[in-house]
Amino acid sequence: MAGRDSLEEALRGEALASGADYFGVADLSPAEKFVLEQGGEMVAQFPRAIAMGVVMPFAIVDQLPRHTEKAVALAYHSHSYDIINARLDHIASRLASTLQREGHRAFPVIASGSVNAERLYGLFSHKLAAHLAGLGWIGKSCLLITPEVGPRVRWASILTDAPLPAGQALNERCAGCKQCVEACPAQAFTGRNFQPSEPREARYDAFKCQTYQRQQQERIGVSVCGMCVYICPYGRKKRERG
């Protein structure tokens, strides 16, 4: 069997070669209670999570101020959701097979999908895994903000018992910025900074977001917004500076 460091290097290489732009390992013990409450024993039994991310097409994200136009909405929904999610699920499946061949348990969590209609939660928080892996921090938008491209990344995770070396969570760097809060057409954000001890509802009303997107579905046939993804300075700064 491969050693923990060599296995991590092999998984990282396989993920990047398969199309991932981000790869990291999270120690889930600091968030054990949250993981248990969201996903139950099935999820909480795993001590590690591998986080993988794929960057969205900038040329499409930069058009999101026009997301009420069907052409923009279709492009964003297709290339920044459907296609990237499928790519992430494929990468997660490949890496899970590698872990299993090495004698470890591996549970690939689908890139997108709510399992709790009352709270609009997925089985496991990909953003949490990416945060604990040191790939970014949770912003006022409740999105994972990377230092390089802000929130312009889609994520997937693999839960595992492999004793892989884990990263260190990054401190929040949004400071007083509230551009995502002000840009949200649904007014879904309260503007509070992320606190691990607080519920998501202290910062974000998922049902306001859902309602706005359903209205978009009724108007143009596509349910997208993405203004919090577009507006973040960490996602726009490098392109705007040339």
Q: Can you tell me the mean pLDDT for 27-44?
A: 92
Chain centroid, CA 222 distance in Å: 21
Roughly what angle, to the nearest 10 degrees, separates helices 70-77 and 206-220? 120
Q: How confident is the model at residue 55 (pLDDT cuts 50, 70, 90)?
A: very high
pLDDT of residue 242: 45
Q: What is the pLDDT of residues 171-219, one digit of tens each?
A: 999 999 999 999 999 999 999 998 888 888 899 999 999 999 999 999 9
**Which single residue is written with the structure tokens 């509230």?**
178
Contact criterion met (CB below 8 Å) for 28 and 132 = yes
Instruction: Please identify, in words, the CATH class of the domain defined by 4-240.
Output: alpha beta
pLDDT of residue 116: 61
Has residue 169 got a pLDDT over 60? yes
Give Cβ neighbours of residue 117 (< 8 Å, ≥ 6 apart): none
Contact criterion met (CB below 8 Å) for 69 and 54 = no
pTM of the model as a whole: 0.92
Q: Can you tell me the mean pLDDT for 73-95?
A: 97
pLDDT of residue 16: 98
Map 138-181 to HEC letters.
ECCCCCEEECCCECCEEEEEEEECCCCCCCCCCCCCCCCCCHHH
| % of the chain surpassing 70 pLDDT | 93
Q: What is the pLDDT of residues 117-156, one digit of tens each?
A: 666 578 899 999 999 999 999 999 999 999 999 999 999 9
Q: Can you tell me the mean pLDDT for 16-37?
A: 95
Domain spans in the chain, listed from the N-terminal domain onward: 4-240
Roughly what angle, to the nearest 10 degrees, separates helices 83-101 and 4-17? 150
Give Cβ neighbours of residue 105 (< 8 Å, ≥ 6 apart): 46, 99, 160, 161
